[in-house]
Chain A
């Protein structure tokens, strides 16, 4: 361990060398034992798998056309392999140079990938010259398009970067750069572990695809199994690479940002908000009430009013458990769960039926729209939120032109911040607004299917900014965090634990309630109403999002985007696979939460190393190995992931607040 934090010599530390060694060994194994690439993939997901030995395994039926022949692919793969072997030797002897071979290995693998993609693209382009029927041509084009790298190329790419980074960490500059990213270790380890366990589940429940009609044998079976795992995950993460699925992903990410912020906000104050589903429901109900029954004469002013209503509905539903905790000391964990069920009861009561029995009489309710489906009436047009495409379109409705003004504005803001560090935020913001307004009419023509990604997405980003400002730039946020870290110390310092508990839960509820705007005002469920099939479970996903984002606004946004992506990809997986359905994504999220709870099984000395000051003191007496790793005072107050220890602090909250 000494080597990690002590840079006494410039050789890579023992730990870093071991990391590089393991990564390179895995890369070598992947190169030798898994398919390098799929040269094509049919509609039924069977493909032509290429191994590094040049062997071809065709799990599909007969092919109508010759396979693409990426001439340089195999030599490059062998070069990658050789470079990794060199890296292994270098890492084993803790040589200074092994980052170079690792980086070269990465570049060789990258070159192989480029060659492969170029060849496949050429093959797809050549299809039009073949004399085939139109349908067969399309099938063939899709076949080439479905090809791409496989496990045998993907693992080396990743391992090359990791090994190069490990080698570079011997240099002070790089070490400091990596050190700043240390917070990402636990989520990254958790995701990696979740993907590993998920792969095992995939292998158990989904037989490998083989439509070739004959048995694959032991080796072929192994290759097709590894291909299956790679294919499932590449399908899950595929939406990042194309524009329309990316917009869908962001649409699914929007409510996750809201609920993730909600859970994260409560976390920061030492509270565990499992009530995001209920708060979301009440926010959506409130938005429906104002949006449908508010005065239409207000015009577009009704939209902000409806947004406020959604926030207020959620805030109310969050304030109740907060107040119960502050006043009576009853656990917010149980109360928020109970309020979820109550909210769902109210929701069904309001829009499930037009009539309800009351002591033998039938009373009528005005909220449900006629028809079989449980849904409210449509919102006034003024209460709706425009989609981002409508907002950014500066062309005609027929030929969309996306405005680039916001990009210019963003660039102007960033540049201004970079060059005018002293002047605060005001001038850059003004500058960005001016630049944005001037360049608004500049647009590029795009071809996008209708997407319901709407203004609620920007609202979510705004909420993330509000979260960050409030929590780290104001006295209120300071008080909230103090309560989260140590209620007793906060109380002693004159901060009211009870007041901040209520405040934290109210604001957490507000964030979750605003997710209702996405569903009701944004038309995310394809109509501008409150609908019975609103997926309230995104409230529970908020827990995973908050944990993976380490309860920071930026982390929440990033992990929401990731979860939105695999949610979108999950639909594709359940379409393409017979034995898998989209709930594999739910399992992955649960596994992520589980592994983050365990700190990614990483040692605390890795995730949360002692301050250099402490080590120096210990090192001076020559006891670096036995240095106290954690000052005892910190223990329990902050868990490895940087989250307040919820169970403990909530109990103390209770004792303090319950008096």
Chain B
């Protein structure tokens, strides 16, 4: 047991920990924007996958010509592609007043089929893309080196807080999610606010995906999100739809994931059960959270048919 403890208080664990937190945090903040505008975004998991796939494929395709610049282009494309897919979710749920959970599920189902069709067309396999030779660079010193999305994620927490609480856009966004009717009567374009928020959430989730494929693993593999989007959604609820709350919740979930990664392969608990821990804790956490702080108009379409 001592060895486990010493393993947890080590630099390696810290690195694993931060790497586990990053995609959760990015996705959670993305979900924050979407849900604060009143649109349930259960599609986050699929958006991660689309971002990861687009990032890996674009990096792989452009790296003979662009070299070290390729992953950055991959990042941008990954974010844009995921933003585009999120736009589809937005169109369905805002313009066509679709049930937002069902529309999000459709995106997730799409994410379980489209990647393998694209991979089969491009590379002839259906499970993973070829490894990229130029992943995103590692910045930092000593053993603490991270790829840029990690810093980006850390930066996004204060940015999200500032945007939400200190800018007119944030005020309108929150009003849109709480009382769309009241916001509209003050001249806020509810639909446009929701579109922007959902697309933003897609771009952040896409960045999380790019971090996983080009930042962490240097390839896209099938089902690489492993339910990350849903855990981020749970973190959003646990964090009571607030930026700092999301940070706290994702730190907890990230810690659990890092713990299960560290315990995996050791002879303390069977690994199949250890990997289940984060999901189990998510359920437990939701029990103690409830939905008291949910945005008032969450999940309700707004406007005329």
Chain A contacts to B: CB under 8 angstroms: 201, 204-206, 272, 274, 324, 328-331, 333-335, 337-339, 341-342, 345-346, 348-349, 352-353, 356-362, 537, 540, 543-544, 547, 579-581, 583-587, 589-591, 593-594, 596-599, 601, 604, 629-630, 636, 639, 643, 645-648, 650-651, 654-655, 658
In-complex Cβ contact of A646 among B101, B118, B290, B298 (8 A): B101
> Given that A543-B105, A593-B105 are known contacts, is A587 also in contact with B110, CB under 8 Å in the complex?
yes
Query: Which among B103, B106, B305 has the highest number of chain A CB atoms within 10 Å?
Result: B106
Report the stretch among B56-64, B150-158, B267-275 that lies at the interface. B267-275
User: Contact between A543 and B113 (Cβ–Cβ < 8 Å)?
Assistant: no
State how many angstroms separate the Cβ of B224 from the closest Cβ of chain A. Answer: 15
CB distance from A576 to the nearest CB of B (A): 14
Excluding A587-B110, A629-B305, A651-B294, 18 further A-B contacts by CB distance (< 8 Å) are A205-B118, A329-B290, A338-B234, A345-B275, A540-B109, A583-B116, A584-B117, A586-B112, A590-B107, A590-B112, A593-B102, A594-B106, A594-B110, A597-B92, A597-B93, A597-B103, A630-B305, A643-B99
Q: How far is the CB of A591 from chain B (nearest CB, A)?
A: 7
Question: Residue-by-residue, is B84-98 near A (CB-CB < 8 Å gives 1, otherwise 0)?
Answer: 000010001100111
B120, closest chain A residue (CB): A581
Given A337-B227, A337-B230, A360-B268, does the pair A330, B287 have CB atoms closer than 8 Å? yes
Q: Which 8 A-B pairs have the closest CB atoms?
A: A586-B113, A647-B299, A345-B276, A590-B109, A357-B267, A205-B121, A594-B106, A330-B286
Cβ-based interface call for B282 (8 A): yes
Q: Which of A342, A345, A597, A647 contacts B40 (CB 8 A)?
A: A647
Q: Which residues of B does A touch, CB under 8 Å?
A: 40, 42, 88, 92-93, 96-103, 105-107, 109-110, 112-114, 116-118, 120-121, 126, 227, 230, 233-234, 237, 266-270, 272-273, 275-276, 279-280, 282-283, 286-291, 294, 298-301, 305
Contact: A205 with B109, CB < 8 Å?
no
Give Cα A331–Cα B294 distance, bound, in whole angstroms: 12
User: Which chain A residue lies CB-closest to B116?
Assistant: A583
12 pairs, CB–CB < 8 Å, chain A vs chain B: A334-B230, A358-B269, A544-B109, A580-B117, A583-B120, A585-B113, A589-B113, A590-B107, A591-B106, A598-B96, A647-B100, A651-B298
Nearest-CB residue, chain A, relative to B305: A604
B42, A333: Cβ atoms closer than 8 Å: yes
Which chain B residue shows the least CB distance to A644? B99
- Contact, CB under 8 Å: B120 / A598: no
Give the complex CA separation of A606 and B174 in angstroms.
Answer: 35
Residue on A with the closest CB to B101?
A: A647
Decide: B291 and A272 in contact? CB cutoff 8 A.
no
Contact pick for B230, options A338, A362, A599, CB 8 Å: A338
Q: Are B116 and A581 in contact (CB under 8 A)?
A: yes
User: CB distance B92 to A345 under 8 Å?
Assistant: no
Contact A357/B270 with A331-B291, A651-B298 known, Cβ cut-off 8 Å: yes
Q: Are B98 and A597 in contact (CB under 8 A)?
A: yes
Q: Report yes or no: A584 in contact with B267, Cβ–Cβ below 8 A.
A: no
Does A639 contact B116, Cβ atoms closer than 8 Å?
A: no
B179 to chain A, nearest CB (A): 16
Establish whether residues A349 and B272, one from each chain, have CB atoms under 8 Å apart when the complex forms: yes
A654–B291 CB distance below 8 A: yes
Instruction: List the A side residues contacting B275 at CB < 8 Å.
Output: 345
Residues in chain A near residue B227, CB distance under 8 A:
337-338, 341
Bound state CA distance, A352 and B276, in angstroms? Answer: 15
A339 → chain B, closest Cβ, in Å?
7
**Contact between chains at A205 and B120 (CB < 8 Å):** yes
**Cα distance A630–B305 in the bound complex, in angstroms:** 10
- What is the distance, in angstroms, from A372's C-beta to the closest C-beta of chain B? 17
Shortest CB-to-CB span from B94 to chain A, Å, is 11
Assembly CA distance A632 to B107 (angstroms): 30
Known: A579-B121, A601-B96. A274 touches B105 (CB 8 A): yes
Residues of B within 8 A of A544 (CB): 109
Contact of A328 among B103, B279, B287, B298 (CB under 8 A): B287
* Contacting pair B286 A324 (CB below 8 A): yes
Which residues of the partner chain A approach B288 to less than 8 Å between Cβ atoms? 328
Report yes or no: B114 in contact with A358, Cβ–Cβ below 8 A. no
Task: Report yes or no: B99 in contact with A646, Cβ–Cβ below 8 A.
Answer: yes
A579 touching B120, Cβ below 8 Å = yes
A346 CA to B272 CA, complexed, in Å: 7
- Whether A590 contacts B110 by the Cβ 8 Å rule is yes
Contact in complex: B272, A352 (CB < 8 Å): yes
- A651 and B286 in contact, given A349-B270, A544-B109, A583-B113 (Cβ under 8 angstroms): no
> Could you tell me the distance between the alpha carbons of A352 and B289 in the complex, rounded to whole angstroms?
35
In the assembled complex, the CB of B220 is this many whole angstroms from the nearest CB of chain A, namely 15
Smallest distance from the beta carbon of A341 to chain B beta carbons, Å?
4
Question: When the two chains form their complex, are residues B283 and A338 in contact, meaning their CB atoms are under 8 A apart?
Answer: yes
Q: Once the chains are docked, how many angstroms separate the CA of A646 from the CA of B99?
A: 7
**In the assembly, what is the distance between CA of A192 and CA of B214, in Å?**
37
- Cross-chain contact A330 with B289 (CB below 8 angstroms): yes
Give the distance to chain B from A489, nearest Cβ to Cβ, in Å: 17
CB distance from A488 to the nearest CB of B (A): 15
Q: Which residues of A contact B105 (CB under 8 A)?
A: 272, 274, 543, 593
Point out the residues of chain A lying under 8 angstroms from B276, CB to CB.
341-342, 345-346
Cβ contacts under 8 Å, B120 to chain A: 205, 579-581, 583
- Within 8 Å CB of B110, what residues of A? 587, 590-591, 594
Given contacts A334-B282, A583-B113, contact A547 B102 (CB under 8 A): yes
Q: Is the CB of B230 within 8 A of A342?
A: no
Cβ 8 A contact of B290, one of A328, A356, A647: A328
Query: What is the minimal beta-carbon distance from B181 to any residue of chain A, in angstroms?
Result: 14
User: With A540-B112, A597-B106, A651-B294 in contact, is A333–B283 under 8 Å at CB?
Assistant: no
CB-defined contacts of A629 to chain B, threshold 8 Å: 305
* B117 interface neighbour in A346, A356, A581, Cβ under 8 Å: A581
Q: Looking across the interface, which residue of chain B has its beta carbon closest to that of A202? A: B117
Also in contact, A645 and B99, with CB within 8 A (given A329-B290, A333-B42, A594-B106): yes
B99-A597 in contact (CB<8A): yes
B237, A357: Cβ atoms closer than 8 Å: no
Residues from chain B with a CB closer than 8 A to the CB of A204 are: 121
Complex CA gap A356/B265 in Å reads: 11
Q: In this complex, what residue of B is CB-closest to A347? A: B272
> A562 vs B276: C-alpha distance in the bound complex, in angstroms?
35
Residues of chain A with a CB closer than 8 A to B234's CB: 334, 338
Q: Across the interface, name the chain B residue whose C-beta is closest to A337.
A: B230
Inside 8 A of A352's CB, which chain B residues have their CB?
Answer: 272
CA distance A206 to B118 in the complex (A): 11
- Taking CB atoms, residues of chain A closer than 8 Å to B268 are 357-360
B166 CB to nearest chain A CB (Å):
29
- Does A329 lie within 8 Å of B291, measured CB to CB? yes
- Nearest A-chain residue to B226, judged by Cβ: A341
Most chain A CB inside 10 Å of its own CB: which residue of B40, B114, B120, B287? B120
CB-nearest residue of chain B to A357: B267
- Inside 8 A of B291's CB, which chain A residues have their CB? 329-331, 651, 654-655, 658
Query: Looking across the interface, which residue of chain B has its beta carbon closest to that of A604?
Result: B305
8 Å CB contact of B109 from A272, A342, A589, A639: A589
Choice from A206, A357, A586, A590 contacting B269 with Cβ under 8 Å: A357
Report Cα–Cα, A359/B120, bound state, in Å.
44
Residues of A within 8 A of B282 (CB): 334, 338
Cβ distance A100 to chain B, nearest Cβ, rounded Å: 37
Q: Which of A272, A338, A356 has the most CB of B within 10 A?
A: A338
Residues of B near A643 (CB, < 8 A) are 99
- Residues in A whose Cβ lies below 8 Å from that of B287: 324, 328, 330
Q: In the complex, what's the smallest C-beta–C-beta distance from A329 to chain B, in angstroms?
A: 5
Q: Are B279 and A647 in contact (CB under 8 A)?
A: no
**Nearest-CB distance from B254 to chain A (Å)?**
16
Shortest C-beta distance, B303 to chain A (Å), equals: 11
Cβ–Cβ < 8 Å partners of B100 in chain A: 647
Q: Report the separation of the CA atoms of residues A630 and B304 in the bound assembly, to the nearest whole angstrom.
A: 11
Alpha-carbon separation in the docked complex, A345 to B92 (Å)? 34
Would A348 and B272 count as touching, CB distance under 8 A?
Answer: yes
- Contact in complex: B96, A599 (CB < 8 Å): yes
* B247 → chain A closest CB, angstroms: 19
